[in-house]
Amino acid sequence: MSDNTNVKPLEPVPTVEHITELHPGDLNDLCDATDAAIEGGGGFGWVRVPERDVLERYWRGVLAMPSRALFVARLDNMICGTCQLLKPPGNNEAQSFSVQLTTNFVTPWARGHGLARMLIEEAEKYASKDGFAVINLDVRETLTEAMRLYEHLGFHRIGEHPAYALVDNKVLKGYYYTKIIDADIRESCETRDA
């Protein structure tokens, strides 16, 4: 018999990627992760877990829309979180340089591995490479850890909405954040505001 006292369990492998199609099992993982996030209070708009077919249609629809870029977090190859970049419509030339970060969550069982940070950083790299200069987002007041992370990653709170969400018959505030990721735009804003 061998002595296994020096054997250590393998650390889970966290990864993040931009996806354009779902591989076998991905849709199920995505829906399970969404269910857990909603139940944990961070369901990006949903308050109650919708029927599975509703979630499946939602995620398939996200991938079918050219105006959305979907990023997924995986822990040991299982999807456990997401975020999306929502690109502006073609008729919005004045704001064509900015994207909206949305549906950002990591399911409770996968937290603590840096996936939330990795998702945002990957979305930011994609936005920059795709020619966008500004990332905007909004978040409800109860998601304090998310706000702390956004601020740590250089997002600035620019406003608040007193009646942003209604959760369990309680009106919640929401906060708006922005991050300028293009040096020329940032310099232009700093010069203008000096």
Task: For 61-77, write each residue's pLDDT tens digit.
Answer: 999 999 999 999 999 99
* Residue 40 binned pLDDT confidence (cut-offs 50, 70, 90): confident
Of 136, 112, 114, nearest in space to 124 by CA: 136
- Residue 75 domain-assigned? yes
Predicted TM-score (pTM) of the model is: 0.91
Split into its structural domains, the chain has a count of 1
Residue among 184, 161, 81 nearest 123 (CA) = 81
Task: Give the structural domain span for 72.
Answer: 14-193
Are 80 and 108 spatial neighbours (Cβ–Cβ below 8 Å)? no
* Residue 9 placed within a domain: no
Instruction: Please check whether residue 7 lies inside any domain of the structure.
Output: no
For 101-135, how does the pLDDT look when each residue is reduced to its tens digit (9 = 90+)? Answer: 999 999 999 999 999 999 999 999 999 999 999 99
Cβ–Cβ < 8 Å for 29, 37: no
Q: Which element (helix H / strand E) includes 138?
A: strand 134-140
